Amino acid sequence: ETGVTQSPTHLIKTRGQQVTLRCSSQSGHNTVSWYQQALGQGPQFIFQYYREEENGRGNFPPRFSGLQFPNYSSELNVNALELDDSALYLCASSLDGSSYNEQFFGPGTRLTVL
């Protein structure tokens, strides 16, 4: 059984640029959630995708967008990067779009915006 993987591991961008982060869900999982974790803070929910549809969204602006593919892997896109976007971005996979199921987290992508 393959766990959750994310790429890239680290990324450095400049303000105003765009970035795409990728996540492969655990085998058998059809739901992916994305989180932003600033240094010293808890993860903040960005959005959730279930069977290729956005299933829920946290308090993030529209420049944070996502996709889920038929194989249930997912992308997080952030446009017009700001300095405050510097954080660890975590994805988590789970079953069936329900928030009552346990989430399995990937190792994260560390994004630095200069």
Partner 1 sequence: QQPVQSPQAVILREGEDAVINCSSSKALYSVHWYRQKHGEAPVFLMILLKGGEQKGHDKISASFNEKKQQSSLYLTASQLSYSGTYFCGTTGLSGDTGNQFYFGTGTSLTVIP
Residues that bind partner 1 (CB under 8 A): 33, 35, 41-45, 48, 54-58, 90, 92, 97-108
Least distance CB 42 / partner 1 (angstroms): 4
Least distance CB 50 / partner 1 (angstroms): 8
Least distance CB 31 / partner 1 (angstroms): 9
Q: Which residues pair with 49 in a beta bridge?
A: 32, 54
Contact yes or no for 4/72 (Cβ under 8 A):
no
The secondary structure of residue 83, as a DSSP letter, is G
Q: Is the peptide bond before 8 cis (omega within 30 degrees of 0)?
A: yes
Comparison of 43 and 66: residue with beta carbon closer to partner 1: 43
Comparison of 15 and 68: residue with beta carbon closer to partner 1: 68
Comparison of 54 and 82: residue with beta carbon closer to partner 1: 54
Comparison of 17 and 54: residue with beta carbon closer to partner 1: 54
Least distance CB 19 / partner 1 (angstroms): 19
Secondary structure E strands in the chain: 5-7, 10-13, 19-24, 31-37, 44-50, 53-57, 64-68, 74-78, 87-94, 104-105, 109-113
